[in-house]
Amino acid sequence: MKKSSYNNNCVFCQIAAKQLPAKIVFEDEDLFAFYDIKPKADIHVLIIPKKHIATLASLESSDAGLMGKLLYRVRLLAKDLGITEGFKLVLNNGLKAGQLVPHLHFHILAGSNYTDISKI
C-alpha cells in the first residue's frame, strides 16, 4: 500500500495497518476484511480497500480494478465463511445514508438475525 493512501485520522486505515486490533478475516496487498465490532447479523464482516477512499462517491476511474477485485473477494469470502444460504452486501455512501466511518467499506451480512437494513 502506498503511504500517501493512509489517513492518520481514519479508524479503518489504523485497523488495516494493525495499529488498532480487529478480528481479521482476510488480508492481501490491497484489501482487508474483519469482523464488525457491533454485529448486526449472525455473520457481519466488513471489507475495505487498504487505500483510503472516503466514500463510493469519491471513487476515481483508476479505482475500478481495485473495486472489481474487492467484489470478487466478497464472493470468495462468502464461501470461506461457510455462507451457503445467501448474504446481503450493504454500502452506506455518505453520512446522510448512515456512513459513520468515512473509509469505503461493504458490510457482508449473513445468517438469520438481520437488523433492519436502514439501521446498518
- Give the binding site for Zn ion (CB under 5 A): 7, 10, 12-13, 52, 103
- Four-residue CA torsion sign, 53, 55, 59, 65: positive
Q: Would residue 105 show up in a list of annotated catalytic residues for this protein?
A: yes
Question: Toward ligand 5GP, which CB reaches closer, 74 or 101?
Answer: 101
Which one of 31-39, 51-59, 68-76, 77-85 is the stretch in contact with ligand 5GP (CB under 6 A)?
Answer: 31-39
Cβ atoms of 32 and 97 within 8 Å: the answer is no
Q: Is 106 in the site for ligand 5GP (CB under 6 A)?
A: no
DSSP string, 47-107: EEESS----GGG--GGGHHHHHHHHHHHHHHHHHTT--S--EEE---SGGGT--S-S--EE
CB 36 to ligand 5GP: min, Å: 5
Residue 10 binds which of Zn ion, ligand 5GP, none (CB < 5-8 A, kind-dependent): Zn ion
Positions marked active-site = 105
For binding to ligand 5GP (CB under 6 A), which residues are involved? 11, 22, 34-38, 46, 92, 98-101
